Amino acid sequence: MVSDLRQAVNKLRALAPQLNSAVDEANRVVSVVERFLAHECQLGVEADIPVSYNDKGKAVMLLRYGPVEGGYRIALTHSDGDSRFVTRPWATCDRSEKLASFPAIPRLLMAVAKAVEAQINSTTATVTTVTQIMSALAQPIHRGAVETLPDLAILLRPEPAVHKTGNGAAVRRNPGDKEVKDNGRTKHETSPRITLGEDNE
């Protein structure tokens, strides 16, 4: 028993420097990755992946990339599996958390790449839609043919006024018609009609 214990102590003494070296290397790698994402690529996206789960199968620790303490950083988010979340930069987490989450760094990079692709696709689709809208709004409504916004052109066209003649019949007048007096009688001079879609002589 004493001999086994002595061997275990000696083994721990030999392994401790290796563990410390592994943690230092993990710190260096995460720092390089964080600098690459936030400064070299200047990525303003968010992504996270689960690292550990509770008994109910809900993620309770997530490795994420996103805004933390005023900048975009690699971080760890702890959750109660429901609605409470606490996020800290990965660099400030304790050693056990770092060692548990470090193997997930490659998966986080892939998640960030997918988030960037989704952001590009969304932005491209929005630019196309806005460009089409602006193009439609900028296109003039030509006389004689309505090529754009036909409903608006119809709404803007004034309705002819309705007047009754002496025998009670209703006569529809256009805004361009004029009233003239002929021997005390009122006559209407009808203005030329312009029909949309037809050439005017």
- Model confidence at 175, pLDDT cuts 50, 70, 90, reads low
Domain edges within the chain: 2-134
Cα–Cα distance between 41 and 116 in angstroms, integer? 11
- Residue 167: the pLDDT is 58
118: left (phi over 0), alpha (psi -120 to 50) or beta: alpha
Residue 191 DSSP code: P
Residue type, position 89, single letter? P
Cα–Cα distance between 68 and 64 in angstroms, integer? 10
Residue type, position 134, single letter? M
Res 7 pLDDT > 80? yes
63 contacts: CB under 8 Å, gap ≥ 6: 48, 49, 51, 74, 75, 76, 90, 101, 104, 105, 107, 108
Judge whether 47 and 111 are in contact, CB under 8 Å: yes
Res 6 pLDDT > 50? yes
pLDDT digits (tens, 9 = 90+) for 84-110: 789 999 999 999 999 999 999 999 999
Residue recorded with tokens 């969304």: 122
The DSSP secondary structure of 41-110, one letter per residue, reads S-----EEEEEEE-TTS-EEEEEEEEEETTEEEEEEEEE-SSS-EEEEEGGGS-HHHHHHHGGGHHHHHH
Q: What is the mean pLDDT of residues 33-37?
A: 97
Pairing of strands 161-164, 85-89: unpaired
pLDDT digits (tens, 9 = 90+) for 116-166: 999 999 999 999 999 889 888 876 655 554 454 445 445 445 555 555 555
